[in-house]
């Protein structure tokens, strides 16, 4: 089982109501119609879903299928986040804000996932500048920083949520949580894990609760897309893989094989 970096620094979350789903980025609605339809199923404890139109951004023009999918989620009261790729700080401020405006104009998103977000203290001022601008553009909204690892604690002050783990079950089951996270409630943190066997699903949820994560996405899928097997997750820049579906070689593009089971375990139930 995982353990805290310092024993006794936090207490486990209690109650299934602490957990809900964040969808890192299903495949295009034409390729994954069942996945997108399931998000509006009554009783699904869904915090938000990411719309990744063009593998990291909004694309060059509105996509009618993505417009329809986003509209159905909004009408069901579900928050839709646009996917903005920060490329570990190599994209310019103007590029990112331009993508954000397109997401807002075309898809009326209610926030953003800032994927491949830098994690070091030297990049914090620029990320703070970016999130402050996005908050103004959104007039509120929800901002998630997709580090995929524990960043410098200062990042907790510039966004609503941090993705502090994104990777395979083989790493997650032995992972540690940074001591500073104990000073924040579970709704501030998200964990995304692929390759979780059905037989270890309950263990994975216990880990999330003990480590203080309120938003999760667990799947038994493993990466099979382009770039599978590459240590960099298929990214041309060779950096740390991203949170979205491309960054994890497609592992998050489709429903877990045990979707009904996990929904029933952390939600009010599944209507057959």
Per-residue pLDDT for 92 more than 70?
yes
As a whole number of angstroms, the distance between CA 69 and CA 255 comes to: 16
As a whole number of angstroms, the distance between CA 195 and CA 251 comes to: 8
Summarize the confidence of residues 26-47 as an average pLDDT. 93
Reduce the DSSP state of residue 101 to 3 states and report it.
helix
pLDDT band at 229 (very low <50, low <70, confident <90, very high): very low
Summarize the confidence of residues 175-181 as an average pLDDT. 96
Separation of first and last alpha carbons in the chain? 34
Q: What is the pLDDT of residue 224?
A: 60
For the chain, what is the largest distance between any 2 Cα atoms, rounded to a whole number of angstroms? 51
Per-residue pLDDT for 232 more than 60?
no
190 within 8 A of 164, measured Cβ to Cβ: yes
Q: What is the pLDDT of residues 217-227, one digit of tens each?
A: 999 999 764 33
Torsion of CA 163, 197, 46, 100, to 10 degrees: 40
Instruction: Note the pTM of the prediction, 2 decimals.
Output: 0.86
Summarize the confidence of residues 141-169 as an average pLDDT. 97
Summarize the confidence of residues 53-73 as an average pLDDT. 93
Per-residue pLDDT for 268 more than 90?
no
DSSP annotation of 157 reads G
Average pLDDT, the chain: 86
**Residues whose CB is less than 8 angstroms from the CB of residue 100 and which lie 6 or more positions away in sequence, other chains included:** 82, 84, 112, 134, 137
* Separation of CA 59 from chain center: 20
Per-residue pLDDT for 247 more than 80?
no
Q: What is the pLDDT of residue 140?
A: 82
Sign of CA dihedral 209, 211, 215, 221: negative
Tokens of 48: 């938000």
pLDDT band at 267 (very low <50, low <70, confident <90, very high): confident
């Amino acid at each position: 089982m995982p353990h805290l970096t310092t024993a006794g620094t936090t207490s486990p979350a209690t109650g299934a109501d602490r957990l809900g789903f964040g969808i890192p980025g299903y495949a295009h609605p034409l390729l994954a119609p069942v996945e997108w339809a399931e998000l509006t199923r009554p009783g699904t404890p869904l915090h938000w879903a990411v719309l990744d139109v063009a593998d990291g951004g909004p694309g060059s023009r509105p996509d009618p299928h993505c417009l329809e999918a986003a509209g159905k989620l909004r009408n069901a009261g579900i928050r839709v986040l646009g996917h903005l790729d920060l490329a570990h700080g190599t994209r310019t401020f103007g590029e990112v804000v331009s993508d954000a405006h397109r997401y807002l104009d075309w898809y009326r998103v209610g926030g953003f996932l800032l994927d491949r977000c830098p994690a070091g203290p030297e990049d914090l001022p620029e990320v703070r500048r970016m999130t402050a601008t996005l908050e103004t553009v959104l007039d509120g909204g929800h901002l998630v920083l997709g580090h995929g690892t524990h960043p410098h604690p200062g990042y907790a002050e510039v966004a609503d949520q941090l993705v502090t783990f994104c990777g395979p079950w083989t790493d997650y089951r032995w992972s540690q949580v940074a001591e500073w996270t104990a000073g924040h409630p579970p709704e501030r943190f998200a964990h995304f894990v692929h390759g979780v066997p059905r037989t270890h699903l309950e263990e994975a949820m216990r880990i999330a609760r003990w480590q203080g994560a309120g938003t999760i996405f667990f799947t038994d899928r493993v990466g099979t897309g382009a770039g599978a097997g590459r240590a960099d997750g298929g990214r041309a820049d060779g950096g740390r893989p991203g949170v979205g579906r491309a960054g994890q070689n497609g592992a998050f593009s489709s429903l877990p094989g045990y979707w009904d089971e996990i929904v029933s375990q952390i939600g009010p139930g599944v209507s057959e």
